[in-house]
A and B are shown apart, each in its own frame.
Chain A
Amino acid sequence: MTYSAAALLGHAILGNKHWPAILNTPDMRSSYDVVIVGGGGHGLATAHYLAANHGITDVAVIEAAWIGGGNTARNTGIVRSDYLLNSSFRLKNFALGLWNDLSRQLNFNLMYEPRGYVDLAHSDDELERFTLRANAMRLRGAEAEILTGDALLARVPQLDLTGEKRFPVIGALAQEAGGVVRHDAVAWGFARSAASAGIHIIQNCPVTGFEITGGRLSAVRTALGRVACTRALITVAGASTALAEMAGLDLPLNSINVQALVTEPVNPVLDAVVNYNAGLCYASQTSKGEFVLGGATDGYTSYARRGNFGKIEDVLARALQIFPFLSRLRLMRHWAGTADITFDGNAIVGRTEVEGLMINAGWGYSGFKATPAAGWCLAELLGTGTLPELLVPFSLNRFETGSEQDDAGAGPYPWLH
């Protein structure tokens, strides 16, 4: 079943009675070649690329609740690749390239909108550090610009730079290829593609343990029974520590709340994604007209998936510094997600000490933008057994060797990343 305008019309004439399901409810088999624990964006992308790139379809994606219901459902949909460290840049820029054509590849409109990402600097020093980042991106072949004064206002005319501001806006780094993607659609698009290739996506099935014999993975235990497999991937974001513990792994990461909010929808005002750096607040306007805003973490370890309202007040105060008109709008919804943040703020992707068991964790609140790249690389690792070069810097053992990938330089304090 191919989605298209013609299909929409055709089905409309038939009363929309014959649309096929994007995924079915398969009976779980007692063994699979590969088991993916976690039906979020990363897990489903891995399933898709296992089938698409490696022809491996004897795969089960096992999800505790419903697909895309964790951080895939909770993030603010921003994609970009404006990183100074080469390792982070390469992975996220690879993802950005994939986002660009992913709707076509999946035959599912993910609503990738490269509306531009504008990162505001509040002092000359900060702008110089942004220039350093922009230069790094340019020298590696990506686009980036430094905007100041009228050029910045021309790019984001809604910015209010007048009046007394607590932290002045001096300039900005702009990445035009950055933008937003409809987050839920990512899970659904990958799930539909994987399911149509014959991969089993099993929802409402919590994983309860791993069977490991002689250091090798032999099975995954679930609420619906035992599944024999020699290759599995844990990709469960906020629940990473709990799942890894079942396999005897102690991951260097903390789970910390990150909150986001939307306003009531209004006619389009803001095109770009804008990031206010003095205390952190990122804002964009969805296709439905809602302003989506988010900020830094709540700053303490929690699995509660609900935050402290003080953070919402804080994010809104910062938003009003650049978009004072938001004071006239109303907060419609706010929510929290559990971000798994490591001791250098970067992801842990690759092998574990248990042979056959792979890990994909620690993406914190920057995992969404990497979704297709993570899936692509993990599929390669699971499919071929070789660690893709892009993933090498993100191995778990980097904390032992010290080759950490600390973009923020914030150190072994997950709540600061």
Chain B
Amino acid sequence: MTRLGRGGLIDRSSVLGFTFDDRPLTGHPGDTVASALLANGRCLVARSSKYHRPRGILSAGLEEPSALVTVTDATGSTPNLKVTEVPLRDGLKVNSQSAWTGLDRDAGTLLQLVSRALGAGFYYKTFIWPRNSWHRIAAPVIRRAAGRGRVDLSFDPSNYDKRRRHCDVLIVGGGAAGLSAAVTAGRAGATTILIEQDHVLGGALLSSRDNIDGLPAPDWVEEAETMLYALSNVTVMPRTLAFGHYDHGLVYAVETPHSDSVASAILWKIRARRILLAAGAIERPVVFPGNDRPGVMLAGAVRSYIRRFAVAPGKRAAVAVADPAERADTAAALNEAAIPVVAEILPGDRPSGTRGRLHLQGVRWRDATGRHHRTSCDLLCVSAGWTPTAHLFTHLGGRLEFSAETQSLLPSAETCGPLRPIGGARGVLIAADCVDDGKRGAHLAMAELGIHKSLKHGRSAPTPATKRGFESGRGSTFIDLQNDVTGADVALAQREGYRDVELIKRYTTLGMGTDQGKTSWTNCILEIASMTSRDPTEIGHATQRPPYSPVSIGALVGTETGSRMIPIRRTPFHRIFESLGCVFQTSGDWLYPRYFPQPGEDMAGAVERECAAVRSSLGCVDMSTLGKIDVQGRDASQFLSRLYCNDVETIKPGRLRYALMLREDGYVFDDGIVARLDENHYLVTATTANTSSVWRHMLKYAQVVWPDLDVALTQVTDHWSSLSIAGPNARNLLQALDPDFCCSRDEFPLAAVREGRLGGELPARVFSASYSGELSYEINTPSGFAETLFDRAVEAGAQWEICPYGLETLDVLRVEKGHIAPGTEIDGRRTPGDLGMAAMASTEKDFLGRTLLQRSALQAGGREQLVGLVPQDRKTPIPGGAHLSDQPVDRNGCAKTLGHLTATIKSPSLGHPIALAFLKDGIARSGDLLWAHSPVAGKSVRVQVTRNCAYDPKGTRLHV
């Protein structure tokens, strides 16, 4: 055990058990998996991805490149977690990844023998010959080797949620700058949110021995925290990772609540007027041969493990820290833990290698005078400097610039939208300066928001860094530890012409791992600079993309899983249809009645029976999903006249007309009825599928294009339920529902609308319009009365054996009539002429789409036209999705086609199969014999071209 006897922010009174690779270990509340592993003397926790080199724990935070593990708890397992980001919980099972047979003996290390042949982008240069050798031979092997950890395919029982907050000032990061900013903003009365990714506040202060405002740093943190929790206008959100900064002050964050919470993770969308980015800075490793060995650890992490977690990460330490103050502090921390410092490697020295098989055993270097040194040690504390954590600054396009002063990438401006970096995120590293910078940042933000007057406040300067860094000896130096990218790889990319940093990133995969190169990017830039003798400021940096650190997909989806993904729209008749045993179908947003089977009946049987009922007596169908748009105003007629291609202005009050709407490009958009309720009052319908696009189209023209027209639009689709009664007895039923309702043919002809109260009380609008080809009335009643309407219709219709029917029968009836439907005939590529409706496009008036409809290709001969088909033998079903040809398929199964089917049914009314199709010059081919080919069905059927209306072409049944 390497747990120190005292100190640290852990709760020694409680013991948590966990396992690592099945070995039982213990830790304490306050530990991360990383500190608990180290406390158990376990440093080797992973193997690298490419060469399977042994890897330990480099850091104590989210920047960790190496120590990735799979963590299993009661909800299942999660791969690729960084040991440094997982707070220890009782019962966790932690397993190493990508090692066979084990971490100590990994067969993959053999790859190191050929590592030179596996340099950057080696896979682009081989597996080229023979053709498809990559796909057939190499890729399967590489795919198996790639990837880290296994995804748990079992059901995920976790709960996830999404929530929102808003505030004046959002502070990202609870270290010195963030706490000070939060206290300042909170005290001044701004609604303030402080987000901290760690489960405790304090950041680097937790392992600092500095005094702030006369208090030891951890005490100062406690005081600030107490104050924040006392302020009702401040919300503190620990364990929450702000991962992305989006337009208009929106920050996305994922909270991983305590294990006793109902939710495993919560996505927060926080809208802030000002964002203070106080995410601190990330320490930069030293690049030298053998720098990836377990036991090499960032100096800040060493201090954190000793002081915060009370763990001794080694027994004999060497120190290679660039900054003198940090070097002294690190030595002091090691001293506190009674770890002897056996060597100090100084800037200007040239570390040339490490030794040890699975853990560091020694380090050697040459000093500035050329003398060689070596020492044995099991811990090497490294730090080449600090890189501001300015990721959220760059997400909205903020640029970083390399500063010679700080030897790091700094935000190039003080602001990016509402976001201002403070403290470490802008290179201020001294605790007291950070506190000042936090105050200043908060004051500035509040002055901008008008919460208080602008105060004069000096600005802390970024902390300068020593320009003299460590040199590197010759050998394999690892820059990106996660993707095993070496200095040689970066050099190779340069040599091969991948010179832009973005190309280097893609060619070498540097920074493309799950750590997104947090510890490697600055080193890469300095490496390129020294290789090419360029100034680091010229090199630029690759785009940093959200999320800052990987976030749970479960949380990003929240509760929108399974059938809850998108709300289901049900019609007002749904409940009653359910009781009738209706089979429903998902159709866009809607759940729609598909058919109403009798016991023991299949769909085909039900549809045949439903069709027969409509054709012979009476049926009723739910039309509530049809879009209903109420159009009112002095210019309502004019407005609709411009929207529809046929004449609608001459519709008299109380009458309705079938109407066709074109898009601007002259193609058919939608069809429906236009009913004139009053002089300046219309109700128009849109097809279910197109309702939202027709609505958007109308709004656009009413509001944007013709704002001068006096017209008011209301979508009333949900307000009115609609039950269509159809069949020879439809008028009898209407009469039975209300003997006083004028429904004789003269009083209520085809294409008319009547408003009134059915039975003297049920408010209704009745439209005499037919889709089925039978006498038909669409009865609309306010949605709340839907069930009453249905009950009365069924009761009164019993004498005619009224039969509820669904979408399937509706479709069969319309195909028999040759009526068009969206998605099949209205497919966005047809002119009115193609659909046999050329005459509908008015030549008298102007309308939307008229000009472009005149274009040559829309008027030329040889277009596909809507036709009907019957099998030559009047028996063989015509396969769905077939294409038409005047020749049989050739030996290769190919044929030149002349068109294709849009719908095919076995017509119950006609007793044989029919189909609708688009056929080149279809009208002229009437009577021709063609082939309908469906290679998928393995069928070719001889078909004869007919008119598209197969049933009652003269429409006599409507005029009874």
Contact = CB atoms under 8 A, between A and B. Distances in A.
A400 B586 contact: no
A21 B492 CA distance: 9
B147 A330 contact: no
Contacts of A139: 883, 885, 889, 893-895, 897, 933, 935
A330 B551 contact: yes
B74 interface: no
A125 B396 CA distance: 43
Given A135-B936, A146-B936, A328-B78, A122 B586 contact: yes
Residue among A103, A123, A145 facing the most chain B CB atoms (10 A cut-off):
A103
B892 A141 contact: yes
B566 interface: yes
Contacts of A104: 128-129, 131
B881 interface: yes
A334 B546 contact: yes
B131 A135 contact: no
Given A12-B119, A320-B553, A266 B829 contact: no
B499 to A, nearest CB: 8
A168 B547 contact: no
Contacts of A332: 514, 516, 547, 550
B160 A327 contact: yes
Contacts of A288: 146-147, 509
Nearest to A7: B125
Interface in A124-146: 125, 128-136, 138-141, 144-146
29 contacts: A5-B126, A16-B116, A16-B492, A19-B496, A114-B132, A123-B587, A136-B883, A139-B885, A145-B936, A166-B568, A264-B550, A266-B80, A267-B148, A279-B566, A289-B143, A321-B562, A324-B561, A325-B153, A325-B154, A327-B552, A328-B76, A330-B78, A330-B80, A330-B551, A333-B516, A334-B545, A343-B665, A410-B828, A411-B669
Contact of A21 (B139, B148, B497, B560): B497
Interface string A80-120: 00000000000000000000110110011101111100000
A412 B566 CA distance: 27
Given A4-B126, A316-B556, A330-B80, A16 B119 contact: yes
Nearest to A4: B126
B706 interface: no
B151 A267 contact: yes
Interface string B547-578: 10011111011101111111010000000000
Contacts of A402: 665-666, 852, 855-858
Interface string B485-525: 00010001001111110110011010000101000000000
A321 B129 contact: no
A156 interface: no
A155 interface: no
B935 A135 contact: yes
Interface string B229-261: 000000000000000101100101000000000
Contacts of A168: 586
Interface in B891-947: 892-895, 897, 900-901, 933-937
A22 B507 CA distance: 12
B561 A411 contact: no
Contact of B857 (A22, A113, A264, A403): A403
Contacts of B883: 132, 135-136, 139
Contacts, number: 332
Contacts of B76: 328
Nearest to B492: A16
Contacts of A15: 116
B43 to A, nearest CB: 23
A268 interface: yes
A134 B934 CA distance: 9
Nearest to B566: A166
B557 A109 contact: no
Interface in B858-873: 858
B900 A136 contact: yes
Contact of A411 (B488, B492, B663, B935): B663
Contacts of A4: 125-126, 128-129
B562 A163 contact: yes
Contacts of A166: 562-566, 568, 586
Those 7 A-B pairs whose CB atoms lie nearest each other, nearest first: A409-B828, A289-B147, A131-B881, A402-B855, A21-B497, A330-B550, A327-B554
Given A69-B502, A104-B129, A401 B892 contact: no
B142 interface: yes
Interface stretch (A214-222, A306-314, A349-357): A306-314
A313 B561 CA distance: 11
B663 A412 contact: yes
Contacts of A19: 492, 495-496
Contacts of B492: 16, 19
Contacts of A287: 139, 142-143, 146
B551 A331 contact: yes
A122 B566 CA distance: 15
Interface in A372-391: none
A324 B155 contact: yes
Contact of A138 (B128, B667, B858, B936): B936
A265 B498 CA distance: 25
A408 interface: yes
Contacts of B534: none
A406 B829 contact: yes
A109 B502 contact: no
A263 B909 CA distance: 55
Nearest to A126: B823
A343 B935 CA distance: 33
A146 B881 CA distance: 11
Given A100-B131, A131-B880, A324 B545 contact: no
Given A136-B900, A321-B562, A328-B156, 11 more contacts: A15-B116, A132-B901, A135-B933, A139-B935, A265-B80, A309-B252, A316-B556, A324-B561, A328-B151, A332-B550, A412-B665
A151 interface: no
A400 B666 CA distance: 12
A359 B658 CA distance: 43
B522 to A, nearest CB: 19
Interface in B65-84: 76-80
A410 B503 CA distance: 37
B135 interface: yes
B838 to A, nearest CB: 15
A138 B940 CA distance: 13
Nearest to B892: A141
Contacts of A138: 893-894, 935-936
Interface string A228-247: 00000000000000000000
B150 interface: yes
Contacts of B506: 73, 184
B881 A129 contact: yes
B851 to A, nearest CB: 11
Interface in B391-415: 395-397
Contact of A134 (B116, B663, B893, B936): B936
B936 A12 contact: no
Given A23-B497, A166-B566, A309-B246, A109 B116 contact: no
B117 interface: yes
A3 B126 contact: yes
A153 interface: no
B151 A269 contact: yes
A308 B499 CA distance: 31
A409 B556 contact: no
B326 interface: no
A412 B894 contact: no
Contact of B936 (A107, A113, A131, A263): A131
Nearest to A137: B935
Contacts of B897: 136, 139
A164 interface: yes
Nearest to A408: B828
B223 interface: no
Contacts of B498: 22, 188
